[in-house]
Amino acid sequence: MFDYTFQWRQAIRALPQMLDGALVTMQIAVLSMAIGVTIAVFLAVARNSSSRWLRAPATAWVEVARNTPALFQIYMAHFGLGSFGIYLSPYIALLAGIAFNNAGYLCETFRGALRAIPATQIRAGRSLGMGPAKAFRLIVMPQMFRISFLPTMNQAVWAILMTSLGVTVGMNSDLTGVTQDLNARTFRTFEFFAMAAVIYYLIAKAVMLGARLIAWRMFRY
């Protein structure tokens, strides 16, 4: 039984407010991906290294990030650290939580990609006089990003959708926060959430398109 008359005009009027929220959502998603990718490269290298002191912390990070809910990670960044007297604002807590999660997943994605690159390439680079770091940066890393491009994009979309968890730690400026606020104020739940869903869809599409453009420029031979 569904006894409801939709009132779209009210929702359309709130569109500018929701689009402001969408900008914040995109900002968090992009920042969290940038931080996540950076950390993940180091984690992937650490997990592949022969030193146990490098492997152990990286493994611990990946285990926690991949095997606990993102909601838990964000909640911990806000309320968990809060109980130790470290106060992250909702924005920072949300960003930290998602970046942590991204790094964990992307580490495994990158590690898989690294496995696919023949070790002989490093040796070839070294024999040309490159140092290990330079060989990794110039020879392995570009290939790693290319091989793992599609799974990385998966994570980017996931990062966008995870920003919606910010409401649980008091975030009220992102798309879900704004939507929830409008909902509580007017009780027009279905209209606002339907619009939010469409906006999330479009953001995800926009990010994918942007990433594709970057990839098209970066991964040309």
Partner 1 sequence: MKFWNIAGGLIAATLIAGPALADKLDDIIASGKLRCAVVLDFPPMGSRDADNNPIGFDVDYCNDLAAALGVDAEIVETPFPDRIPALVSGRADVGVASTSDTLERARTVGFTIPYFAFTFNVLTKEGVGLETYESLADRTVGSVAGTYEAIRLEEDIDKWDKGGSFRSYQSQADVFLALSQGQIDATVVTSTVASSIAQSGKYEGLVMTGEAPYAVDYVGLIGLRQEYGLLNYLNLFVNQQVRTGRYQELYEKWIGGEAPKLTVDKVYY
- Binding residues for partner 1, per CB under 8 A? 1-4, 7, 10, 78-79, 82-83, 85, 87, 90, 167-170, 172, 177, 180-181, 183-190
CA distance 124 to 136: 11
CA distance 86 to 80: 9
Buried b (16+ CB within 10 A) or exposed e, 164-202: bbbbbbebebbbbbbbbbbbeeeebeebbbebbeebbee
Nearer to partner 1, 79 or 158 (CB): 79
- DSSP code for 50: S
The least CB distance from residue 200 to partner 1, in Å, is: 18
Q: Which long-range contacts (CB under 8 A, 24 or more apart) does 198-205 make?
A: 199/18, 199/19, 199/22, 199/175, 200/25, 200/160, 200/161, 200/164, 200/175, 203/22, 203/25, 203/26, 203/29, 203/160, 203/175, 204/157, 204/160, 204/161
Asked if residue 108 lies in contact with residue 95, where contact means CB atoms within 8 angstroms, the answer is: no
The least CB distance from residue 67 to partner 1, in Å, is: 25
Asked if residue 211 lies in contact with residue 146, where contact means CB atoms within 8 angstroms, the answer is: no
The least CB distance from residue 57 to partner 1, in Å, is: 28
Nearer to partner 1, 171 or 207 (CB): 171
The least CB distance from residue 169 to partner 1, in Å, is: 8
Nearer to partner 1, 152 or 164 (CB): 164
Nearer to partner 1, 1 or 133 (CB): 1
Nearer to partner 1, 136 or 181 (CB): 181
The least CB distance from residue 103 to partner 1, in Å, is: 25
The least CB distance from residue 157 to partner 1, in Å, is: 24
Nearer to partner 1, 92 or 128 (CB): 92
